[in-house]
Amino acid sequence: MTALIETGSMKMPDLGPLSKRNYLNSGYTVRSWLLTTDHKRIALLYLMSITFFFVLGGAAATLVRLDLMTPQADLVQSETFNKLFTAHGVIMVFFFLVPSIPAVLGNFLVPLMVGARDLAFPRLNLLSWYIYMLGGLFTLYALLAGGVDTGWTFYAPYSSTYSNTYVMATAVGIFITGFSSILTGLNFIVTIHKMRAPGLTWFRLPLFIWSIYATSIIMVLGTPVLAITLLLVGLERILGLGIFDPRLGGDPILFQHLFWFYSHPAVYIMILPSMGVISEIIPCYCRKRPFGYAFIGFSSFAIAVFSFLVWGHHLFVSGQSIYAGMVFSMLSYLVAIPSAVKVFNWTASLHKGSISFDTPMLYALGFVGLFTMGGLTGLFVAALAVDVHVHDTYFIVAHFHYIMVGGAVMGYLGGIHFWWPKMTGRLYPEGWARLSAILIFIGFNLTFFPQYILGYLGMPRRYHIYPPEFQVLNVMSSAGASILGVGYFFPLTYLVWSLYYGKRASANPWRATGLEWQTPSPPPTENFAETPIVLDEAYDYKRMDGQLAEGGTA
């Protein structure tokens, strides 16, 4: 009987720098990847696919920013511009941001963090990757065949009746991909409920698990509403139904209600997992337990619940009743409470910690600042009167990019760096990684801060011909985008480089707590040699550092 892995003692079996047999070298054939049911391999399949879509969506954004350098339309035609920002939005939202952290880091980490051998439904997990790819193919077809010009929001009746672009193929693609998201969320919820290791009670779970759980609830309850909405739009185009078409007695506002009933919570599908990643990184790099564990955990649930009650703030100027508007405005303000709870708790966690500024921590600190900024401007646009002024302007664009890029993508990159040694068994080059984290932070702010001002001054979104006085700010924004592009290019390069030339990682290079660090890097296919038994809370860094000082292994 070998020693059980216990977090209680924090003693680790000596695993060597790279164990001989792991999930990566257990098979090299294409078949062993495409038919795998191993959650870790599926996570890597997702990683490659969403990186592809990220580059594609980024290319569309590049063309948009290039075109906006001048007030005239000199790079592309107006129709092409409409298709470009639609492609950017559709790809980034449905094929990058929504699956990003859940499908990559969540898939990889949820079973490891709860001490299980795999997710509850491994074949379903593989199926959801195939569903995702099928949806992606439909969308790629739509893009290559000629594009879509409705914007990622598909507002009816333009999308259902008038647009002569490839709306159907894109809608089918998103409809299909939605099921991938539903099945992933379902798999996580069942796994977290039923597969936790002995002793791993709810309040001993890592905060990443809490936020993935909250995200999964939104995925399971929100995504089907988008599915039925897109189905009705599709049937309207094919069968001539009139649910949303005012000419046939339908109501386009109903489309907006149904669409935002999913698509507002979808914003929290993007940001909640990032918050989970940040809650893992900050304790590790300030060597102490997070301040207010239960508050951080429950605020994830509060955000998930509130997220379903605020969709009407997208309809303030769409002809929604003013009283409904007031209620939705109030409810939208409520979301600020759990969000602020998180920000204050993370900040308080730093207090008297011994902080080190490694790459994941740089991303985490960047996240806290940028998310606060995006969240506070969210309060501006949740106010009825201010929203009338800034609605459909670049202020909105800047606001949601601070959340989705400054928040979600920063968290994603921070998480990828933090768990890269665990996923690949290799360390990334720290110098290059810090440089690119700083470049991304600077580039991001230079890109999107001017857009707040542009929007406040009245530049509408989705237009590429604008008054000449807006050019300076637009050029600043495009310049920032080029820095941001360079910042994203670095990780793409050095992470691939590190696969071949990076230093071998030990089982726990960051001296972090958490079950995933107590198995070799990369982990064996079955995750743990023995089912771990958990005897203690998740973030006892004080004891871990104490044991390290006494000469224990990490």
Partner 1 sequence: MSDETQAAQLSPLAHQFDDLAQQNEADDLGMWLFLCTELMFFGGLFLAYTIYRTRDEATFAAASRELELLWGTVNTAVLLTSSLTMALAVHAAETRHRQKLIVFLFVTMLLGCAFVSIKFMEYYHKYLHGLMPLLGLPFKWDGTSPGHAEMFFDLYFVMTGVHALHMLIGLGIMLVLLVQATRGRLLGGFSGPVRVTGLYWHFVDLVWVFLFPLLYLIGAR
Kindly tell me the burial class for residue 212, based on how many C-beta atoms sit within 10 Å of its own C-beta (0-12, 13-18, 19 or more): buried
Site for partner 1 in 121-140 (CB under 8 A): 121-122, 124
Task: Report in angstroms the alpha-carbon separations of 14 from 153, 385, 388, 540.
Answer: 53, 63, 62, 21
Rounded distance between C-alpha atoms, residue 500 and residue 515, angstroms: 27
What does the DSSP 8-state code read for residue 319?
T
Rounded distance between C-alpha atoms, residue 438 and residue 486, angstroms: 11
Q: Find the shortest distance in angstroms from Cβ 194 to partner 1.
A: 4
Is residue 239 within the footprint of partner 1 (CB under 8 A)?
yes
- Considering beta carbons, is residue 254 or 376 the nearer one to partner 1? 254
Residue from 110, 174, 214, 243 that binds partner 1 (CB under 8 A)? Answer: 243
Rounded distance between C-alpha atoms, residue 279 and residue 551, angstroms: 28
Q: Alpha-carbon Rg of the chain, whole angstroms?
A: 23
Is residue 315 within the footprint of partner 1 (CB under 8 A)?
no
Site for partner 1 in 173-212 (CB under 8 A): 182, 186-187, 189-191, 193-195
Is residue 319 within the footprint of partner 1 (CB under 8 A)?
no
Is residue 408 within the footprint of partner 1 (CB under 8 A)?
no
- Considering beta carbons, is residue 27 or 122 the nearer one to partner 1? 122
Is residue 118 within the footprint of partner 1 (CB under 8 A)?
yes
Residue from 211, 223, 263, 498 that binds partner 1 (CB under 8 A)? Answer: 223
Taking contact as CB under 8 A, which single stretch among the options 11-19, 72-80, 134-142, 216-224 is the one that binds partner 1?
216-224
Show the CA angle centred on residue 436, arms to residues 515 and 472, nearest 5°.
Answer: 135
Q: Find the shortest distance in angstroms from Cβ 542 to partner 1.
A: 33
Report how many helices (DSSP H) and strands (DSSP E) the chain contains, helices first.
18, 0
Residue from 73, 75, 220, 309 that binds partner 1 (CB under 8 A)? Answer: 220
Size of the site for partner 1 (CB under 8 A): 41
Q: What are phi and psi of 504, to 5 degrees?
A: -65, 140
Is residue 301 within the footprint of partner 1 (CB under 8 A)?
no
CB crowding 266-295: b at 16 or more within 10 Å, else e = bbbbbbbbbbbbbbbbbbbbbbbbbbbbeb
**Ramachandran region of residue 115, left (φ > 0), alpha (ψ -120 to 50) or beta?**
left
Taking contact as CB under 8 A, which single stretch among the options 86-94, 231-239, 317-325, 358-366 is the one that binds partner 1?
231-239
Is residue 224 within the footprint of partner 1 (CB under 8 A)?
yes
Taking contact as CB under 8 A, which single stretch among the options 46-54, 242-250, 321-329, 501-509 is the one that binds partner 1?
242-250
Residues facing residue 533 across a β-bridge: 6
Asked if residues 212 and 301 have their Cβ atoms less than 8 Å apart, the reply is: no
**Nearest Cα to Cα of residue 444 among 394, 497, 405, 475:** 405
- Considering beta carbons, is residue 121 or 449 the nearer one to partner 1? 121
- Considering beta carbons, is residue 76 or 195 the nearer one to partner 1? 195
- Considering beta carbons, is residue 73 or 533 the nearer one to partner 1? 533
Show the site string, 516-545: x = touches partner 1 by CB under 8 A, - = not: ---------------x--------------
- Considering beta carbons, is residue 122 or 146 the nearer one to partner 1? 122
Is residue 4 within the footprint of partner 1 (CB under 8 A)?
no
**Ramachandran region of residue 120, left (φ > 0), alpha (ψ -120 to 50) or beta?**
alpha
- Considering beta carbons, is residue 193 or 542 the nearer one to partner 1? 193
Asked if residues 24 and 33 have their Cβ atoms less than 8 Å apart, the reply is: no
Is residue 160 within the footprint of partner 1 (CB under 8 A)?
no
Q: Find the shortest distance in angstroms from Cβ 28 to partner 1.
A: 21
Residue from 116, 174, 277, 303 that binds partner 1 (CB under 8 A)? Answer: 116
Cβ atoms < 10 Å from Cβ of 48: 10
Site residues, partner 1 (CB under 8 A): 116-122, 124, 182, 186-187, 189-191, 193-195, 220-225, 227-229, 231-232, 235, 239-243, 248-251, 254, 258, 531
